[in-house]
Amino acid sequence: MNQSRSLTYISWAANCSRSDHTARELGGSSHMVYWEAIGSSLLTIWLKYLDQAFRTWRILLKERPSVVFVMAPPPFAPLIVLPYCLIFGASLVIDAHSGAFVNRRWRYFQWLQHWLCRRAVTTIVHNEHLKQLVEEHGGHAILVTDVPVRFEQTERYTLSSGFNVAVVCSFAPDEPIAEILAAASRLPGIRFYVTGNPKHLDADLKRSIPANVTLTGFLPDGAYGSLLQNADVVMSLTKQDHTMLRGAWEAAYQGTPVVISDWPLLRAAFDTGAVHVDNSPDGIAQGILEIQRNQARYREGARALMHRKEQRWQATRDAIIARMPAPPAT
């Protein structure tokens, strides 16, 4: 990006790895603005958002960007940034994750989400279904299925000497955690490394974790990147359609094969180097065994997918930049 055009990416989410990668690719700064300690109950959420709004404006007034990317959900993050853009003539870009449109938590705020999308120069969405949804409500949308993920080799995560599966999850309601653990119990000779904060794991499931499953906890970028790069397969699953799985495309950019849920969106996005499963314990176990039996073929397919994704991103990056006003002459 031209150095005379400044970009700031704001995320009100506990994990802003996507925003970090997007900002890095577009030449801007990335900020996670999140007050985790206070929680998100009905009694505390208003105080949490008030604090995050104050910190967001402090960042914007310090950096004075001409383009602001904001992750949604929640829709209140772009709502807070919009006045800055109107006052200082900056461009608003909304990076709308699937949850902004399909999660039950935000269904009562769809009117606000679409109102904000109409005022943004563009809304980044992750599948064709959401692109059509934004455009039907008068907004402009750009389809970005994924952004290149480049991990710095700052830390190595130690794996077993056998066949290793990295399971990327956050213990969210749409993830088939019980089925994953059941599949692991049927494959005692394979080691599973399950990422995410284990405090969000159901207590009953935590007591029944098989011996071949390691809960890694939330990993720093260096260790997480090492896990994805050196695992034999990365697994990322969802029970919810129209959801692009970040863990799967992070793995794809490392050239690592994936086991992924069998949804039309994901089948089209991962057409090589991947096994698509039905989220059942048997289906998950069979998918892992398929890659174990044909490791070289799936690794080759994953590397081919990585190269295609890199080429597609260059065209997408140009399309995003084209939506932004030209930077001032220097």
237-251 residues labelled b (16+ CB within 10 A) or e (exposed): bbebebbbbbbbbbb
User: What CATH number is given to the structural domain containing 109?
Assistant: 3.40.50.2000
Q: For residue 150, is it within any domain?
A: no
pLDDT at 16 (0 to 100): 57
Distance CA 253, CA 109 (A): 34
DSSP state of 177: H
The closest alpha carbon to 72, from 45, 50, 94, 53, belongs to 94
User: 119 near 92, Cβ under 8 Å?
Assistant: yes
Mean pLDDT score across all residues of the chain: 90
Average pLDDT over residues 140-166: 88
Which of 117-121, 205-209, 289-293 has the weakest average pLDDT?
205-209
pLDDT at 221 over 60: yes
**Rounded distance, CA 18 to CA 98, Å?**
13
Say if residue 2's pLDDT is above 50: no
Do residue 177 and residue 131 come from a single domain? no
Is 227 within the bounds of a domain?
yes
pLDDT tens string 36-89:
777 777 788 889 999 999 999 999 999 999 999 999 999 999 999 999 999 999
> For residue 316, is it within any domain?
no
3-state secondary structure of 303: helix
- Shared domain for 177 and 297, answered yes or no, is yes
Q: Both 291 and 176 in a single domain?
A: yes
319 in any annotated domain: no
Residue 218 counted as domain residue: yes
- Where among 144, 173, 200 does a domain terminate? 144
Q: What is the extent of the structural domain holding 263?
A: 164-310
Q: Same domain, yes or no, for 39 and 140?
A: yes
Split into its structural domains, the chain has a count of 2
**pLDDT in the model for residue 43:** 80
Where does the pLDDT of residue 19 fall: very low under 50, low under 70, confident under 90, or very high at 90 and above? Answer: low
- Does residue 47 share a domain with residue 80? yes
Residue 48 lies in a domain: yes
Helix 76-88 and helix 45-63, axial crossing angle in degrees, nearest 10? 30
User: Is 207 in the same domain as 126?
Assistant: no
* 116 in the same domain as 237: no
Same domain for 285 and 238: yes
Judge if 255 and 306 occupy the same domain.
yes
Q: Is residue 244 part of a domain?
A: yes
| Per-residue model confidence as pLDDT tens digits over 240-286 | 888 888 899 899 999 999 999 999 989 998 999 999 999 999 999 99
**Are 126 and 171 contained in the same domain?**
no
Residues 296 and 168 in one domain: yes
Q: What is the pLDDT of residue 42?
A: 77
Q: What pLDDT sits at residue 18?
A: 63
Tens-place pLDDT, residues 188-211:
999 999 998 888 888 888 888 999
Rounded mean pLDDT, 4-31: 77
Residues 135 and 181 in one domain: no
> Measured between alpha carbons, how far is residue 259 from residues 17, 144, 252, 266, 329 in Å?
21, 21, 11, 11, 49
287 found inside a domain: yes
